[in-house]
Structure 1
Amino acid sequence: HEKPILHSDQGWQYRLEKYKKKLKDKQIMQSMSRKGNCLDNAIIENFFGVLKSELFYLNEYNSVSQLHSEIRKYIKYYNRDRVRLNLNGMSPVEYRTHYFKNIA
């Protein structure tokens, strides 16, 4: 029941009708940053930089399925266990839980 979203900038390759059709055929929703606004992508660009430096560049993968499995594990680690200084030393899940508990 998952409905994946692919977010990108407005590069010419992402605006091609052939590309849009492939996404639609695979039931992937396309999301684009606003024109001239790179801040829309800043959060995900930062995450991909961290993912590559903490996981991808440190390992070798024998298959796409192995890489896929490792990325899924890393995302769980990133959200649940990896502490962030800008989140007061909490993981993203801990921070959200703490924040929403304290605003109620």
Structure 2
Amino acid sequence: NCIDNAATEQVFGHLKDEFYTGREFASYEEFKNELDAYIIHWNTRRRQIRLEGHTPEEFRNMSLTA
């Protein structure tokens, strides 16, 4: 589905711009640990305009209680 692909491409674009570009990692383990931390940040602390200023975690929890 091209709509799903567009959303995926957008997420990977943010990941590249905010996490990867201009950085070097000493090892695969360092990269993996930093990526895990970034994903946690994305889901729990990074507020998003398209989610009415909420984090993905907050938005999901609100939809489950609605």
TM range (shorter): 0.7 to 0.9
User: What's the % identity of the aligned pairs?
Assistant: 35
Matched, 1:89 2:53: yes
The residue number in structure 2 matching 1:44 is: 8
Alignment correspondent of 1:75: 39
**Richer in strand (by share):** 1
1:98 is aligned to 2:62: yes
Looking at secondary structure, tell me which structure has more helix per residue: 2
- Normalising by structure 1, report the TM-score: 0.58
Give, in angstroms, the shift of residue 78 of structure 1: 0.3
Paired residues in the alignment total 66
Structure 1: gaps of 5 or more residues: 1-36
Q: Aligned partners of 2:48 and 2:63: how far apart in 1?
A: 15
Deviation at 1:39, TM superposition (A): 2.2
Following the alignment from structure 2 to structure 1, what is the Cα–Cα distance between the partners of residues 53 and 22?
Answer: 24
Give the root-mean-square deviation of aligned CA atoms.
1.2
Report how far residue 82 of structure 1 moved.
0.3
Cα deviation digits, residues 4-47 of structure 1 (max 9, x gap): xxxxxxxxxxxxxxxxxxxxxxxxxxxxxxxxx43231222111
Aligned: 1:65 with 2:29: yes
How far did 1:65 drift? Answer: 1.5
